[in-house]
Amino acid sequence: MHCKSSFYSWLMLCLLVAALSGCGGGSSGESAQTTTASVSGTVRYEDREYSYSGFTGNKSYKSVRYAVVDLVDASGAVVDTTVTDEQGYYELAGRGANMYVRVLSMTSEAAGSHIEVRDYYGAVYAVRQNVSGEDVLNFDIAYEDRIAGAFNILDVYTNASLFVEQMSNTPLPALNVHWQAASSRYGTYFCQTNYVGGSCPQGKGIYLLGGSSSGGDTDEYDDDVLYHEYGHYLEAAYGAQDSPGGRHYLTDNDSDLRLAWSEGLGGFFPGAVKSWLKENNPERLSISSGNISTYFVDTVGSTAAISIDMGNPSTMFCLWGVDCFVYSSSEVAVAKVLHEMRKAFGMQAVWDVISGYLPSGTVQSSTLESFWDGWLEQRAPDAQELGTLHSIFEDRQVYYQSDDYESDDDHTFTRKLTVCGSGSCSGELHYLYSQSGADVDMISFDAQSGRSYLIETLDLSNGADTYIRILDAMQNVVVDATGQTMVNNDRPGTVYCYTYDNPCRIHNDDAMLSSSLTFTPLQSTTYYVEVSTSSSKPAAAGRYGTYTVRIVEQ
């Protein structure tokens, strides 16, 4: 009996010890390794330095900030969770079997917004290390272990979100980023709707190139490309995204105004964030010391394929060195204007118009025109500020101002345009712009009956889409000697589609939306050419614009 009692006492004691320490019984390997762990450490990833030429070959470790860190047991249950601090430091404690620590490519809101970097199938990345009795478990994620790219993406978007947070009180929505090493199944772009499928297999978010097994283009360390796409995310976050999207080339200056604005904002954003970092947190930058913040660099391999200063674009890329980064239809011009505005008036002022006016302050599409309108409405600039604004916009050949003939808005104006003889004739420069509504230019000229005149608008820029009418002294539309009513929107023979690069894209070039009339007057008298913005202008064109008008006797 005693013996029996001793046996049961021993058994109970053994079971108790087993339950507390995980060492009892020995029948289960997992329970055998159940431990209590208290672990802390620092998480870092290896960043690549780049210059105007591409990656320099220099690398350095940076802390992984505000990332979620889990203590996970063998069953996959999260025993404890925390978030790294500014220095990448974390502490975890818990009890379980065969535990490991994992650092997720996912931030808390402390990063300015909730950011997740996922693979193309929607899984969040993590690096893990087993807990095996150490108190300290550091994570150094090396560049060679390509997963470091996910943490660079996380770091860049943390910079961007913190940059926005210090200007805005509105919390940003969660940002999902999709990238996969050695895979370029998708391109680099932003999907703005929740539609799942096609080019957006995980719905809304930023998709990034991951290269291919034989090299290819990869963007996880192209900080400027990452910031560019963040610009698109911001537009969508604030409900100010009106761009039709699609391919766009940096030297284009005849783009859809909505596209030029959106891509120009994307071109501006990298320089804006880097300039802020340079002043406030230079150790988070990846550019070489002395490099200009406004440079936009996109590498292929280790070399820069695109390297252009958005704050001072070089004309060496343009035909015969004539500046091609001009007009509101050029994304580089838009970026340059925004940089100059930032330097002259501060980033907060620029941000207030972008975030406060464009989304809800106007029914118009987001374009440089709307940004201008918002600036005037929000700031009511004095003469000095207006002078600075005009100077900045004129530098990019954008003219939101009165032209030299602005008193010609009705037919009482007596100045007459000289009719050219046949041959070359330069015409007269006008701006379709009015702060108080739609601008109408009225240009008078003398015509002789029995003769024929070509009346046309030329050299259109800044999204102009002209509409012309010929009026008599009573302001009636004229019917000429051939029986034609003297009204024209786009010149006869205009081809909108099947240009070389896009089947049906409107080009804001010098001719596509211009107007022309051949006029054979019935009477010798004074007539009026009325030029206005077409009421049927495509969404790609502007409400404002620049043109020249010419009358040639044929």
Chain residues 185-204 in contact with other proteins, contact rule CB under 8 A: 187-193, 195, 197-200
Length of the chain: 554
CB of 233 vs other proteins, minimal distance in Å = 9
Nearest 10 degrees: Cα torsion 223, 226, 232, 236: -120
Q: Which is nearer to other proteins, 190 or 527 (CB)?
A: 190
Q: Name residue, tokens 């990448």.
A: 88
Angle between helix 347-356 and helix 368-379 axes, rounded to 10 deg? 110
Site map 290..319 versus other proteins, x via CB under 8 A: -----xx-x-xxxxxxxxxx---xx-xx-x
| 3-state secondary structure (DSSP) of residue 165 | helix
Which one of 235-243, 337-345, 409-417, 457-465 is the stretch in contact with other proteins (CB under 8 A)? 235-243
Q: Which is nearer to other proteins, 202 or 466 (CB)?
A: 202
By CB under 8 A, name the one of 44, 48, 65, 102 that touches other proteins: 102
Which one of 164-172, 247-255, 430-438, 536-544 is the stretch in contact with other proteins (CB under 8 A)? 247-255
CB of 190 vs other proteins, minimal distance in Å = 5
In one letter, which amino acid is 56?
A: T
Q: Does 325 bind other proteins (CB under 8 A)?
A: no
Which one of 154-162, 260-268, 281-289, 403-411 is the stretch in contact with other proteins (CB under 8 A)? 260-268
Q: Which is nearer to other proteins, 26 or 57 (CB)?
A: 57
CB of 248 vs other proteins, minimal distance in Å = 6
Q: Does 397 bind other proteins (CB under 8 A)?
A: no
Which one of 75-83, 86-94, 521-529, 539-547 is the stretch in contact with other proteins (CB under 8 A)? 75-83
Q: Does 462 bind other proteins (CB under 8 A)?
A: no
Helical residues (DSSP H) of 170-222, grouped into ranges: none
Number of residues that bind other proteins (CB under 8 A): 91
Q: Which is nearer to other proteins, 322 or 383 (CB)?
A: 322
The phi, psi pair for 299, rounded to 5°, reads -95, 155
3-state secondary structure 467-509: EEEEECCCCCECECCCCCECEECCCCCCCCCCECCECCCCCCC
Sheet bearing 466-471, strands edge to edge: 440-447, 525-533, 466-471, 487-488
**Distance between CA atoms of 479 and 74, rounded to whole angstroms?**
88
Q: Does 347 bind other proteins (CB under 8 A)?
A: no
CB of 424 vs other proteins, minimal distance in Å = 21
Q: Does 96 bind other proteins (CB under 8 A)?
A: no
Q: Does 145 bind other proteins (CB under 8 A)?
A: yes
Q: Does 266 bind other proteins (CB under 8 A)?
A: yes
Q: Within 10 A of 57 (CB to CB), how many other CB atoms are there? A: 9
Q: Does 503 bind other proteins (CB under 8 A)?
A: no
| 3-state secondary structure (DSSP) of residue 262 | helix
CB of 48 vs other proteins, minimal distance in Å = 15
CB of 419 vs other proteins, minimal distance in Å = 33
Q: Which is nearer to other proteins, 70 or 480 (CB)?
A: 70
In one letter, which amino acid is 553?
A: E
By CB under 8 A, name the one of 289, 501, 504, 535 that touches other proteins: 501
Site map 147..176 versus other proteins, x via CB under 8 A: x-----------------------------
| 3-state secondary structure (DSSP) of residue 430 | strand
Q: Which is nearer to other proteins, 253 or 462 (CB)?
A: 253
Q: Is the dihedral of CA 226, 231, 237, 239 positive or negative?
A: negative
List binders of other proteins among 408-437 (CB under 8 A): none
- Rg of the Cα atoms in the chain: 32
| 3-state secondary structure (DSSP) of residue 161 | helix
Q: Does 248 bind other proteins (CB under 8 A)?
A: yes
Exposed / middle / buried, residue 135 (Cβ in 10 Å: 0-12, 13-18, 19+): exposed
Nearest 10 degrees: Cα torsion 196, 201, 206, 209: -160
Going by C-alpha positions, the residue among 253, 313, 310, 321 that lies closest to residue 546 is 253
CB of 354 vs other proteins, minimal distance in Å = 15
By CB under 8 A, name the one of 127, 334, 337, 486 that touches other proteins: 127
By CB under 8 A, name the one of 161, 243, 329, 457 that touches other proteins: 243
DSSP state, 282?
Answer: G
Going by C-alpha positions, the residue among 284, 248, 286 that lies closest to residue 265 is 248
By CB under 8 A, name the one of 80, 155, 229, 340 that touches other proteins: 229
By CB under 8 A, name the one of 223, 256, 331, 408 that touches other proteins: 331
DSSP 520-539: --SSSEEEEEEEEE-TT--T
Q: Which is nearer to other proteins, 220 or 480 (CB)?
A: 220
Q: Does 445 bind other proteins (CB under 8 A)?
A: no
**Distance between CA atoms of 274 and 349, rounded to whole angstroms?**
18
Q: Name residue, tokens 């818990």.
A: 94
Q: Does 279 bind other proteins (CB under 8 A)?
A: no
Q: Is the dihedral of CA 367, 368, 374, 377 positive or negative?
A: negative
Q: Does 112 bind other proteins (CB under 8 A)?
A: no
CB of 142 vs other proteins, minimal distance in Å = 9
CB of 132 vs other proteins, minimal distance in Å = 9
DSSP state, 110?
Answer: G
List binders of other proteins among 20-59 (CB under 8 A): 51-54
By CB under 8 A, name the one of 11, 14, 20, 182 that touches other proteins: 182
By CB under 8 A, name the one of 29, 58, 60, 249 that touches other proteins: 249
Q: Which is nearer to other proteins, 20 or 123 (CB)?
A: 123
DSSP 260-286: HHHHHHHHHHHHHHHHHHHHH-GGG--
Q: Name residue, tokens 């987001």.
A: 366
Q: Which is nearer to other proteins, 210 or 542 (CB)?
A: 210
